[in-house]
Amino acid sequence: MLSLLPCLHEKLRRAQSSHKHLWSKGSKGFYLLSCDHFGVDFKMKTIEVDGIKVRIQIWDTAGQERYQTITKQYYRRAQGIFLVYDISSERSYQHIMKWVSDVDEYAPEGVQKILIGNKADEEQKRQVGREQGQQKGRLVLQLAREYGMDFYETSACTNLNIKESFTRLTELVLQAHRKELDGLRVRASNQLALAELEEEEGKPEGPVNSSKTCWC
């Protein structure tokens, strides 16, 4: 089971709408247990990566300052983190640096991070470009590269790159924990072999052996 944590930009708590929760509308099958009063939402999802079924826990932390003490507690157990900004809000992008330093401070070493520019469907409102030199563009790709993060633009409305970004983060977490996983697999197959052996040894002797006894 993996814990993935979307570390969200300043909470844009606006009028309620059908797709209020990031990714919940676009990603069919996500089960959302809303815990807004704690500043954290929780979802579970099973996805398949390289033929392995992985059950992931998704903790969606609020961006608001007043929830910071609570939300930071969740960083400690995260194995993967999405740093999310809104492409139509330069301010939300500027907050990414703060999230990066919080993650460095509170998340475990080796936590996997992906940078997400959400609301990619809002092209006409874009304030944050993908590439250097683009009109109103910021150095998004450069930032991602500097911190060793993959980068995706996503949309909860059109489903753009939702599955891809979750699959990629899960892949990165699995790769980072490859040794532990291999150890688990070896232990599991050893136990299986031992159980088979014990079962074999415990079997009552068959008719061939019985008749053999008679020949002696």
Ligand X SMILES: Nc1nc2c(ncn2[C@@H]2O[C@H](COP(=O)(O)OP(=O)(O)OP(=O)(O)O)[C@@H](O)[C@H]2O)c(=O)[nH]1
Sequence-distant (6+) residues with CB within 8 A of 126 are 87, 88, 136
For the beta sheet containing 2-8, the strands, ordered from the edge strand earlier in sequence to the opposite edge, are: 31-33, 40-49, 52-61, 2-8, 80-86, 112-118, 150-153
Place of tokens 């874009």: 126
By the rule CB under 6 A, 163 interacts with ligand X? no
By the rule CB under 6 A, 71 interacts with ligand X? no
By the rule CB under 6 A, 102 interacts with ligand X? no
Q: Which helix (H) or strand (E) holds 37?
A: none
Q: Least distance from C-beta 201 to ligand X, angstroms?
A: 58
Q: According to CB under 6 A, which one of 157, 163, 167, 168 is a site residue for ligand X?
A: 157
- Specify the 3-state DSSP secondary structure of 131: coil
By the rule CB under 6 A, 121 interacts with ligand X? yes
Q: Least distance from C-beta 85 to ligand X, angstroms?
A: 9
Q: Least distance from C-beta 173 to ligand X, angstroms?
A: 21
Q: In 10 A of CB 137, how many CB atoms? A: 15
Instruction: Please classify residue 67 by burial: count the beta carbons closer than 10 Å to its beta carbon, then call 0-12 exposed, 13-18 middle and 19+ buried.
Output: middle
- Specify the 3-state DSSP secondary structure of 27: coil
By the rule CB under 6 A, 63 interacts with ligand X? yes
Q: Least distance from C-beta 152 to ligand X, angstroms?
A: 12
Pairing of strands 52-61, 150-153: unpaired
Q: Which is nearer to ligand X, 114 or 174 (CB)?
A: 114
Stretch that binds ligand X, among 7-15, 44-52, 161-169, 185-193 (CB under 6 A): 7-15
By the rule CB under 6 A, 77 interacts with ligand X? no
Q: Least distance from C-beta 143 to ligand X, angstroms?
A: 19
Q: Which is nearer to ligand X, 69 or 213 (CB)?
A: 69
Sequence-distant (6+) residues with CB within 8 A of 186 are none
Rounded CA-CA distance 10/14 in Å is: 12
Q: Which of residues 24-53 bind ligand X (CB under 6 A)?
A: none
Provide the binding-site residues for ligand X, judged by CB under 6 A.
8-9, 11-14, 17, 19-22, 62-63, 118-119, 121-122, 155-157
